[in-house]
Amino acid sequence: MRTPFVAANWKMNKTLPEALNFLQAIAGKLPNQAEVEALICAQSLFLSQMMAVTKDEPIKIGAENVFWHDQGAFTGETSPKAVASLGVDYVIIGHSERRKYFRETDEMVNNKVQAVLRNGMRAIICVDETMGQREANEKVHWVVSQVIEALKGVAIEDADKITIAYEPSWAIGAAAASAKEAEDGCYLIRQTVADMFSDEAADQVRVLYGGSVKPSNQAELMAMPNIDGVLVGDASLNPDIFLQLVNYQQK
């Protein structure tokens, strides 16, 4: 059985005091990690403070990106080795905003996935689909090829360290995909993992949906057989809404 996963992607939001206030507001109100795994991915510059204040809480703190080299002359980049040294477990890789604004290619995404695994962390790989690709009926091609390219060279033993998020950019900060459409994307991802690795690996890997998830559409999405969780941007910035998202089973 795959543990349901609710992951927040704060993007480039919140100052350190705002992040710490948020964590104070959710303290003591989080579900048991065995029932729902909760994660907040935030800007790297205050991950260590966020980890320190949540060390006794059932929540994980993750990064939103890392570079593919462990160290060296790469001014302004974030070292995966340095992030791992904080005790960070999860890193989002290949978010559509990084693909769009920073021209991240499938090859860069693959290098970053390798860097995350090499440093003992887990990757949440985002698979994008634009409105143009959706309208041209290119979903299958795009989703499958991004998964194949991102996982190139990944050993089957590391399959359990991979989470893949179906995040059509047409649904981010807009109108969410229907549960059926989100399920179709997640099913495609799981089938691709089965083809590349094995049915067992595909059974283990967690597949998330992201794009305008809110407490009002979360339960329907998470009831789908291939959707193990959600990756949430906007709605995760408010502590009350975040608590509703992680405690969705208690409703």
**Binding-site positions:** 9-11, 173, 212
Under the binding rule (CB under 6 A), the answer on residue 167 touching ligand PGA is yes
209: left (phi over 0), alpha (psi -120 to 50) or beta: beta
Compute how many residues bind ligand PGA; rule: CB under 6 A: 13
Q: Report the residue number, 98 or 161, with the smaller CB distance to ligand PGA.
A: 98
Is residue 173 at the binding interface for ligand PGA, with CB under 6 A as the rule? yes
In the chain, what is the greatest distance between 2 CA atoms, to the nearest angstrom? Answer: 50
For the annotated binding site for substrate, the residues are 9-11, 173, 212
For ligand PGA, the closer of residues 176 and 201 by Cβ is 176
Q: Closest Cα to residue 236, out of 213, 203, 207?
A: 213
Q: How far is the CB of 116 from ligand PGA (least distance, A)?
A: 17
From the CB of 169, what's the least distance to ligand PGA, in Å?
A: 8
Catalytic residues: 95, 167
Please give the residues from 207 up to 246 whose contact with ligand PGA meets the rule CB under 6 A.
210-213, 231-235
Q: Give the residue with the Cβ less far from ligand PGA, 193 or 213.
A: 213
Residue 26 in contact with ligand PGA, rule: CB under 6 A: no
Binding site for ligand PGA (CB under 6 A): 9, 167, 172-173, 210-213, 231-235
